[in-house]
Amino acid sequence: MGMNNYRKLLACLLAVVMSMSLLAACGSKKDNDQESAEESAAAQEQTEASEKEADEEEREAERPEIDYLIVVNSNNPVPSDWEEKITLSYTCNSVGDDVYAETRTYKAYLEMKDELEKQGVHVELDSGFRSLAAQQQIIDDFTEKYGASYARTYATAPGYSEHHTGLALDLYLIVDGVTAYENEDLMKYPEVWEKIHALLPDYGFILSYPNNGKTTYEPWHIRYVGKEAAKEITERGITLEAYVAEKG
């Protein structure tokens, strides 16, 4: 190969290498463009999501504040306009039931559930908000399953259940992969309930029917009242009704 030819070959090779690197540069430029397009699309989505979230929060803030200390029990029926005042969140539990709960109550539950998971305790929502018709259905089911006397003890008449507020939740457990759902099965895990009950006030919940000999113990039935009230009610071992009466 003569010197000229050699130079030509070198020049040619150089040209090939240069065009390859140009191509590579284009390729990477294209990737960059694509990436930044994807990034800006993601950023856009994120902005939209946070705007949507802000909208929701704004809407929630615009709603008149509901009374988280409302007393609904066998002496105090749920106010007739309550249902239109509350916002409900929806979830589907592990056995496939639809469950609704008041939005702030549900958020507090989720936070508590996360903490319980860390402690190896798995809770699920059996029941939250109930319409009057749903409460009647429970009485009918309990009567059929356990008898009328049991139904009277464990289920309140429509209108008088704390579940109508959306602020009361019934929990059930999954222990070692086994679902404990029925009341008699739930009673078999006092040590699990102890862990759950210890966390309640920190998340704004109280136990409506504690094991104090005064009410029929329902370890699964928790009620959202907000942290301040929950701490005081629990520490003093008083009822929500007594707390509200005191505060006027």
- Residues lying near Zn ion in the complex (CB under 5 A) are found at 170, 221
User: Is 28 or 212 the residue whose CB approaches Zn ion more closely?
Assistant: 212
Q: Which is nearer to Zn ion, 73 or 179 (CB)?
A: 73
Give the nearest residue (CB) to Zn ion. 221
Q: Which is nearer to Zn ion, 129 or 243 (CB)?
A: 129
Give the list of residues 6+ apart from residue 203 with CB closer than 8 angstroms, or none: 108, 109, 111, 112, 115, 227, 230
Tell the smallest beta-carbon distance from residue 163 to Zn ion (Å): 6
Nearest to Zn ion of 27, 125 (CB atom):
125
Contact 123, 173 (CB under 8 A): yes
Smallest distance, Å, CB 117 to Zn ion?
A: 22
Nearer to Zn ion, 103 or 127 (CB): 127
Beta carbon nearer to Zn ion, 113 or 221: 221
Smallest gap from Cβ 55 to Zn ion, in A, equals 33
